[in-house]
Amino acid sequence: MSTIRHVAVIDIGKTNAKVALVDLVTLSEVALRRMANAPVRQAPYPHHDVEALWNFILDGLAGLNREQRIDAISITTHGATGVLVDAAGELVLPVLDYEFDGPDSLAADYDATRPSFAETGTPRLPLGLNLGAQFFWQQKRFPAEFARATAMLMYPQYWALRLTGVAANEVTSLGCHTDLWNPWTSDYSSMVDKMGWRRLMAPVRPAKDRLGPILPALAPQTGLDPQTPVFCGLHDSNASLLPHLLADTPPFCVVSTGTWVVSMAVGGKKIALDPVRDTLVNVNALGDPVPSARFMGGREFSLLTDGKPQGWSEDDVAAVLARKALLLPSTQQGSGPFPHRAAQWVDAELLSPGQRFVAVSFYLALMTATCLELIGGDGPTTVEGPFAQNRLFIRMLAAATGRPVVASETSTGTSIGAALIASDGATVMSKGERIAPPADPVWRDYARAWQQAIIRATDDGSVRSQ
């Protein structure tokens, strides 16, 4: 084929699925298709509707290709998701939704089997957030179906299999709190061998590998050239990180926002990670370990605002800062830096809708600042995804960290990063407004008040008013 310029990126997020067309010359999205993504809550357990997603992917590829010829396809998805297929590439079990609590029923047995945090950089997480726990539960509960599996695939590579017929795995998804990967040896963890799963693991290939052209039957369905290459693909937060690995000078941090807010530190301060507070070691697209921390910030935003930004004014900002109206963690429990704390408002009586939105945005920024502190974050922080458009979040994050914050101009950093793996040498430059920490000390005072309120609550089990 000719030089690759326009890359169709299949981006399966936990809340939304997208097919974006990225121009590698301008490093911008030039077209986008989107659909809501929700699990099917039917037997045998809540699972992803892969057939609805597949139809959306094919329709999206066909529609985008009519607007602009697609030169290549790349893939990125959310983590904590894996697929078991048989020799024909068909599912042997539905693709489990990681928010299903079934794996918790075998928690004691799994805890006796899983590797240590020192080996994998994976904290013990609830529900199915450790992919190893999902596979463990499926093998115990559905032994006949599990026995038919010939391959374990990470979620991006499942879609690559459907597009190309080639089975593969890749380190960014394997290294995303799965318990399956040792980032220090670049090999599978001891549990994989203990469970006899190594024989099921598809070959590990770099994210940038061309797995092959699309399957012949897909060309007439989509209108794509039969030789359209499909790249191996990668985990979504690591897709957001990739442009910065290629362009920025350490130390720096990247915050990828979506359903999850994932903070990643490159070249930061040396610090011991605390697995109890949802810190972990991710593996980037170059195969290197990256200290990371996360919380379910996008989900919290949706719960707190009904998913809709509210109108606010600078008077609302001044009122919240002066009053120190605080939202303390955590709206979404079970993960994040305060996994066992219940959310509580402090000095927040009779807030107007605009003031409440300001306080919610500040809360999300302060949770993010906490995550960055836990991973030794240093240097400027770039925010990718929806929260980059929230100026309240950006300003408070700069205030709380005392470092500049860059609000990325792209609507989703994942699509640009995923497209870059198809490039042989695109020039990458960070795009976005650089916001310095506010000069007015009232911003930093608010951040300190939030931190002190959490300390008091931890010390005596209650929260006193400011």
Q: In this predicted model, what pLDDT tens digit does every residue of 130-187 receive, in sequence order?
A: 999 999 999 999 999 999 999 999 999 999 999 999 999 999 999 999 999 999 999 9
* pLDDT, greater one: 82 or 247: 82
Give the architecture (CATH level 2) of 237-460.
2-Layer Sandwich (3.30)
pTM summary value? 0.86
Give the pLDDT confidence score for residue 429 in this predicted structure.
64
Considering the chain, what is the average pLDDT of its residues? 94
Tell me the β-bridge partners of 35: 17
Give the tens place of pLDDT for each residue, 60-101.
999 999 999 999 999 999 999 999 999 999 999 999 999 999
Torsion of CA 95, 99, 101, 106, to 10 degrees: 60
Which of 15-19, 170-174, 324-328, 406-410 bottoms out in mean pLDDT, i.e. has the lowest?
Answer: 406-410
pLDDT of residue 381 exceeding 70, the answer is yes
Tell me whether domains 6-232 and 237-460 share a fold: yes
Q: Tell me how many degrees the CA angle 11-16-21 measures, rounded to the nearest 5.
A: 40
pLDDT at 411: 54
Q: Where are the domains of the chain?
A: 6-232, 237-460
Distance CA 38, CA 55 (A): 15
pLDDT at 230: 98
- The domain 6-232 is placed in CATH, from the list 3.30.420.40, 3.40.50.1970, 3.40.50.300, 1.10.3720.10, at 3.30.420.40
Q: How confident is the model at residue 310 (pLDDT cuts 50, 70, 90)?
A: confident
Dist. CA 388–CA 433, nearest whole Å:
10
421: nearest Cα among 254, 248, 245, 178: 245
Per-residue pLDDT reduced to its tens digit, 178-211:
999 999 999 999 999 999 999 999 999 999 999 9
Asked whether the beta carbons of 138 and 96 are under 8 A apart, the reply is yes
What would the 3-class secondary structure string for the chain be?
CCCCCEEEEEEECCCEEEEEEEECCCCEEEEEEEEECCCECCCCCCECCHHHHHHHHHHHHHHHHHHCCCCEEEEEECCCCEEEECCCCCECCCCECCCCCHHHHHHHHHHCCCCCHHHHCCCCCCCCCCHHHHHHHHHHHCHHHHHCCCEEEEHHHHHHHHHHCCCCECHHHHCCCCCCEECCCCEECHHHHHCCCHHHECCECCCCCEEEECCCCHHHHHCCCCCCEEECCEEHHHHHHHHHHHHCCCCEEEEEECCCEEEEEECCCCCCCCHHHCEEEEECCCCCEEEEEEECHHHHHHHHHCCCCCCCCHHHHHHHHHHCCEEECCCCCCCCCCCCCCCEEECCCCCCHHHHHHHHHHHHHHHHHHHHHHCCCCCCEEEECHHHHCHHHHHHHHHHHCCCEEEECCCCHHHHHHHHCCCCCCCCCCCEEEECCCCCHHHHHHHHHHHHHHHHHHHHCCCCCC
Rounded to an integer, the average pLDDT of 28-34 is 95
Residue range 288-303: mean pLDDT, rounded: 95
**Other C-beta atoms lying within 10 Å of the C-beta of residue 124:** 16
Reported as a pLDDT band with limits 50, 70 and 90, residue 21 is very high
Q: What is the pLDDT of residue 462?
A: 42
Cβ partners under 8 Å of residue 444, min gap 6 = 399, 400, 402, 437, 438
Whether 38 and 44 have beta carbons less than 8 Å apart is answered as no
Q: What is the pLDDT at residue 4?
A: 96
Provide the token pair at 218.
């897909």
Q: Are strands 6-12 and 252-257 parallel, antiparallel or unpaired?
A: unpaired
Residue with tokens 């994942």: 414
Of 412 and 96, the structure prediction assigns the larger pLDDT to 96
What is the pLDDT averaged over residues 278-284? 95
The reported pLDDT for the residue numbered 409 is 79
As a whole-number percent, the residues of the chain with pLDDT over 70 amount to 95
How confident is the model at residue 247, as a pLDDT?
Answer: 87
**Which pair of tokens denotes residue 397?**
């994050």
pLDDT class of 443 with cuts at 50, 70, 90: very high
Taking the C-alpha atoms of residue 168 and residue 156, their distance in angstroms, rounded to an integer, is 10
